[in-house]
Each structure stands twice: as C-alpha cells, then as structure tokens.
Amino acid sequence: MKKAIVVFASGTGSNFKNIVEKIKIHNLDAEVVLLVSNNSNCNAVTFAKKNNIKTFIYNSKKYPNDFNQDILLKKIKQYEIDLIILAGYMKKISKNLIKNYKNKILNIHPSLLPKYGGKGFYGMKVHEAVYANKDKKTGATVHFVDEDYDTGPILIQKEINLKLDEKPSKISDKVLELEHEIYFKSVRLFCEDKILWKNNKPLIKE
Ligand code: GRF
C-alpha cells in the first residue's frame, strides 16, 4: 500500500527536495502529501508549491493559542498518513503529536548523536563545535522522535572522517551529502516495512 508522508521543514529544504526526488527516481510506493512549515517564505514551501505538494503554514502568529498543537494535529489527521519526516524543522513538536504518531516521526541531525545534540545544537552550531573541538570524525543520524530534543531511538547513523583543519562550512557540505543519503535510505526502509521494533529499539530487516 502506498505510504503517505508529511514533511516538516523551516528552511532550505534540501532534505525535503532530495526525498521527493528520490521517491520518483526509485519508484518508491510513497508520496509526500503535505508540507508543514512555520515559515511561508522558505525555499521548502516554494519547492512544494512548484511540485503541487499541499502546504500548511503553522506558527504561533497564525495560531497563538494552540499550545497543544491541536489544530496542527487536526490538519494532519485529514490525511491518512504513515510517516512524518522532520527535515530542518526549527520548532518543537508537541507531546500531543508525538503520542498520536508514536514510532512514526523521523528526524535527521547533523552529528553523531548523542554528541552535539539537544537544545542549541542545530545547523552550523554543530559543525562549529566539531571544528572547535578538532574532532577527527563527524556524521549524521536519523532517529525516531521522542519527547526531548535529539534523544529518540536511532535508526541509522553514518560517520565520515575529517581532514586536519577542515572548516565548518566544508564540514557542513560533507555532512549534508551524508544526510541526503541516509535520510532517503531511512524513508525507504520505513516505506518498505523493513523496520521492526524490539524492546523500544528499531531494527532493520534484511
Ligand atoms: C540539516 O542539517 C538537518 O540535519 C538539520 O537541519 C538542516 C536542514 O537542511 N536538522 P535542509 O533544510 O534540509 O537543507
């Protein structure tokens, strides 16, 4: 059965674009049915519109009293969805939403979690810390979302070696390439029902 996906993105949306494009290339039986964004002017929204993907702009300016994200949940429930993908989404997902989509929300983080995870570690901040600490390797992590920042069960993590004195912008480019690879791989595993849960840990069926 075709899997219906909702993507949440706030910015450039390169992970979002990559997933939409690879779904087509690989003929995956899945479709992004909705893009949720807090930012109506971001590239992710522009891309969605160009590709006839429905968009829903959701932020506290538009919905100042929706503390539990009930309106957002109601919107998502209009679609019978299988998976939510956070792709550079800068807002916290409510407990309400997480409860409703347990083990069905994925996030990508540009580090080898648990290193450089948690509040305050996002985007270039992560790569700057890797650089400042002279780390010899870094990477990206796809994990399921739980109620805290960047702590949910890890599905795929991949590392890369860094050369001496590689600058944060270069680190970011390399990690983003890795993100595109492992995020699509994760979506594919999910859509092909190749993830099984054991003791609250996701395992990959060969
Ligand atoms: C990525 O580095 C991702 O790991 C992080 O936000 C960034 C989003 O990039 N969560 P993009 O918008 O997908 O290009």
Q: Is the pTM of this model over 0.75?
A: yes
Which sequence spans correspond to the domains of the chain? 1-101, 107-206
Catalytic annotation, residues: 109
User: Which numbered atom of ligand 1 lies nearest the CA of 172?
Assistant: 2
b (16+ CB within 10 A) / e for 38-72: bbeebbbbebbeeeebebbbbeeeeeeebeebeeb
The contacts of residue 146 (CB under 8 Å, 6+ apart) are 98, 152, 153
pLDDT of residue 151: 86
Q: Distance between CA 35 and CA 151 in Å, rounded?
A: 24
Q: CA geometry: angle at 95 spanning 90 and 99, to 5°?
A: 120
Closest C-alpha to 40, from 62, 57, 15: 57
Q: Tens of pLDDT along 143-175? A: 999 987 788 999 999 999 999 999 999 999 999
User: Which numbered atom of ligand 1 lies nearest the CA of 15?
Assistant: 13
Is the CATH number of domain 1-101 3.40.50.300? no
Q: For residue 119, what pLDDT band results from cuts at 50, 70 and 90?
A: confident
Burial class (CB in 10 A: 0-12, 13-18, 19+), 112: buried
User: Which numbered atom of ligand 1 lies nearest the CA of 16?
Assistant: 13
pLDDT of residue 147: 84
CB-based pocket (< 6 A), ligand 1: 9, 11-16, 87-88, 108-110, 123, 176, 179
Q: Give the Å distances, CA to CA, from 31 to 1, 5, 100, 112, 171.
A: 11, 6, 20, 29, 31
Q: Tens of pLDDT along 90-114? A: 998 999 999 999 999 999 999 999 9
Task: Tell me the best of 179, 180, 184, 186 to mutate to test the pocket of ligand 1, counting ligand atoms within 8 Å of each CB and taking the most.
Answer: 179
Taking CA atoms only, the protein residue closest to ligand 1 atom 6 is 88
Which CATH number applies to 107-206: 3.40.50.2300, 3.30.1330.90, 3.40.50.170, 3.90.550.10? 3.40.50.170
Equal fold, 1-101 vs 107-206: yes
Please check whether residue 184 is in contact with residue 18, taking contact to mean a CB–CB distance below 8 angstroms: yes
CA of 111 to the centre of ligand 1 (A): 11
CA of 90 to the centre of ligand 1 (A): 9
